[in-house]
Amino acid sequence: MTSHNKREARKLRSQTRSEHDPKEMLDVLLALDRMMVEVSMRLYKVPRRERFTMRAQNRRLHDAVPQRLPRLLKPSRSQF
């Protein structure tokens, strides 16, 4: 690969990384987690009373993620 092509490839990689907002990505991951919890509760036939408790625990966990893990919201540095 020529140096020009390497530069172009590096530029494209950096552009795609910068286009994704870390907060938006975290929101998507948390939404996926909520969906998986709901599917799992129905799959394993969790009683309704316990579903309410599990949803509340899941909400508390999701609220704590951005507070406790701020590094998830920061863009990572590339090794390249």
16 against 55, higher pLDDT: 55
For 46-57, what is the mean pLDDT? 95
Q: Which two tokens stand for residue 66?
A: 């951005």
The conformation of residue 62, written as its DSSP 8-state character, comes to H
Of residues 22, 30, 23, 20, the one with CA closest to residue 59: 30
How high is the pLDDT of residue 22? 74
- How high does pLDDT run on average in the chain? 81
Whole-structure pTM over 0.95, yes or no? no
